[in-house]
Structure 1
């Protein structure tokens, strides 16, 4: 077997903000080699069949402390306590299992009325004072996931404003490194304080569960805070990006806008699912490092080889999704990998979908005439972040 030719450097800049870089599509026949902008090389995976195989195979490691792990922004070479996303089984399994029940179907259903209330309050703010236009990103997308997480964490009412301020500041896109470190430290101190308080007054929430595990010796304080931090940060930008991009897709296309305006409860769910396929949200996909010799997708991957699974391109695989570059909420997008696959499938996927679906539903029920102020844009995309999204989305409903 011979290696495919090198592709253009990773990451590439999108030629069109609505589509992944076209150069990535040359690998439809299996993994191909690419040079990393931050040093080294990796195998690129851009077809759905191979992506599933890689993500389901534990020989492809998520451990970013592995010296062969690809050089990418935000990939920490130091073990962060509690951040099981960058761990492999059995450590990953044991750590993740501690909070799995908090994301069960039953728990997510119970969250629905609280999210409905949060969404209603946010829309009241949007239309408050008789306003006829506003920014959906700032008014709904940014505060929505923080408020939802506050409910799941059981944040006391007297600490909600501080918690929400931390959540908002964590989402500031233009923050300097020093500012990010400062707000991260402030957030972790707040989480530590709340977990310690839950030991004396536990409830039926995530922080109480972490407090009990800490008290029983199953977790250190640093691990408990790390797990809470991971859940918070992972949910913030993902939900904000998914919501704003879903709304943009629906409002850009008159036929899609008309359908959901006429029946929001019927179409909000399909719209969010198609948005996950179309946008994927995770901008650069996921990285792995091979820990054994593996033949996959017609290529021999050797121990120590880095692998990039570019999920945005994977979810545009034409062999699985006809007309993949079209946003069409009437299609069946089942099988997309926006939330990953295998042991690292996103723990909070159902919560993210619930929050986004309820927000989309409520907006079109309350404001059926909702439309973009500038239908043709330009729109400013967050193309330099881990999660894709919009800096703002100006709409009107008059």
Structure 2
């Protein structure tokens, strides 16, 4: 067992040399086999975990690593994170996490998400019908990849689709890493205030949406939640329910444009390949690029390195999901890959609550787009595409296409 005493550590988030691969430094750390130090915004030096098995070790239940952003030593993304997320259940452990998660689970089960598939298909086809009226080139991020999950989450919450732009603008600011604390907090407050007014209205005008159930059932009837706590859960569903899926839909479109052989496989039999395609895209892109983060609660050895209690840990999913010890030809995109060992949705009890819904959206979004527009192509040179590295989730700023 050893400890890292090196004064040299790269700045985190790490930069990507190639937009279609994990940062080279993360790959080098993984190949070296042991956790390594990085430096974050406040000068602290948490450990970066890059191997698949070691990420699973950190995220597995057992009480050795905590998810609470308010704990000393937690490697927060900014000074705003403990304020914005400190009271949210998924940033808690044990009894503060699971009971609240169980309130939301019924809305995001595999069965419930599958039941929404016909409506998701309707929304997709409506968006595709509208594309020609947008003119060409059209930005598929704004008009499709972002629009679809936002509309879906609006229907689940029971709010008008006109909210789509408020939701996007506010949540986009919250997940940007370098945005000043005041702007992050203001964006978060906008969402809180908007949902607070809406949920108050739903007490006198209830419906079947999630916001209505939260306030009328879990606050007023059962008294399990406080009103502000219920509002916070609504904000969480908004932030988590569209940003990640939108990024994945956009990145998946780009991958299929770049690799016509893989696109042909998917379109040859969408029902057969849409599931494996979704899992492979999650592995290949691993769009959650700066999470999950934890703080060590008791001295733990990982990869021959002693991580001491109170030290921060950051798991790097892009590197872990291309671990050659787990995946054959990990650098290749293979939509026929049947291995389902990726940890793109996280691992353990904190893994993504909305993963079932996200899967259904991705499974339908890609083949229906290319079936409707088989001549779809980039409207700019690939080198002109801009990716947002400065965010919790990786994705495209825009995706201009024509046909």
For the criterion TM > 0.5, the same-fold answer is: yes
1:199-348 superposed matches below 5 A: 199-211=203-215, 212-215=217-220, 216-348=222-354
The question of whether the paired residues in 2 share the 8 Å contact of 1:80 and 1:226 is answered with no
- Name the residue aligned to 2:98: 93
- Name the residue aligned to 1:13: 15
Which runs of 5 or more structure 2 residues have no equivalent in the other structure?
Answer: none
- Name the residue aligned to 1:167: 167
Classify the secondary structure of the residue corresponding to 1:195.
helix
Q: Deviations over 1:257-308 (max 9, x none)?
A: 2323443443333222111111111121311101112223333221111111
Query: 1:263–1:396: structure 2 CA closer, same or farther, 3 Å change rule?
Result: farther
- Name the residue aligned to 2:55: 51
The question of whether the paired residues in 2 share the 8 Å contact of 1:66 and 1:77 is answered with no
Query: 1:80–1:388: structure 2 CA closer, same or farther, 3 Å change rule?
Result: closer
Classify the secondary structure of the residue corresponding to 1:391.
coil
Residue 69 (structure 1) aligned to one of 60, 67, 74: 74
- Name the residue aligned to 1:381: 387
Deviates further, 318-327 or 67-76 = 67-76
Query: 1:81–1:302: structure 2 CA closer, same or farther, 3 Å change rule?
Result: closer
Deviates further, 298-307 or 120-129 = 120-129
Deviates further, 223-232 or 317-326 = 317-326
Deviates further, 199-208 or 132-141 = 199-208
Between the aligned partners of 1:56 and 1:75, the Cα distance in structure 2 is: 27
Question: What is the deviation of 1:75?
Answer: 6.0
Deviates further, 197-206 or 227-236 = 197-206
The question of whether the paired residues in 1 share the 8 Å contact of 2:170 and 2:190 is answered with no
The question of whether the paired residues in 2 share the 8 Å contact of 1:20 and 1:312 is answered with yes
The question of whether the paired residues in 2 share the 8 Å contact of 1:252 and 1:375 is answered with no
Query: 1:291–1:98: structure 2 CA closer, same or farther, 3 Å change rule?
Result: same
Between the aligned partners of 2:170 and 2:120, the Cα distance in structure 1 is: 21
Q: Structure 1-normalised TM-score?
A: 0.91
Q: Structure 2-normalised TM-score?
A: 0.90
Between the aligned partners of 1:79 and 1:366, the Cα distance in structure 2 is: 41
Between the aligned partners of 1:104 and 1:277, the Cα distance in structure 2 is: 21
- Name the residue aligned to 2:364: 358
The CA RMSD measured in Å over matched residues stands at: 2.3
Between the aligned partners of 2:187 and 2:398, the Cα distance in structure 1 is: 22
- Name the residue aligned to 1:135: 139
- Name the residue aligned to 1:370: 376
Classify the secondary structure of the residue corresponding to 1:284.
coil
The question of whether the paired residues in 1 share the 8 Å contact of 2:65 and 2:296 is answered with yes
Question: What is the deviation of 1:373?
Answer: 2.7
- 1:33 counterpart = 2:37: yes
Question: What is the deviation of 1:333?
Answer: 4.0
Q: Deviations over 1:220-240 (max 9, x none)?
A: 111001001011101221011
- Name the residue aligned to 1:119: 124
Query: 1:81–1:199: structure 2 CA closer, same or farther, 3 Å change rule?
Result: farther
Query: 1:323–1:378: structure 2 CA closer, same or farther, 3 Å change rule?
Result: farther
Question: What is the deviation of 1:199?
Answer: 2.7
Query: 1:254–1:283: structure 2 CA closer, same or farther, 3 Å change rule?
Result: same
Q: Deviations over 1:73-122 (max 9, x none)?
A: 37623374752121111101122111111111221122112211211111
Query: 1:272–1:377: structure 2 CA closer, same or farther, 3 Å change rule?
Result: farther
Classify the secondary structure of the residue corresponding to 2:387.
coil
Question: What is the deviation of 1:35?
Answer: 3.3
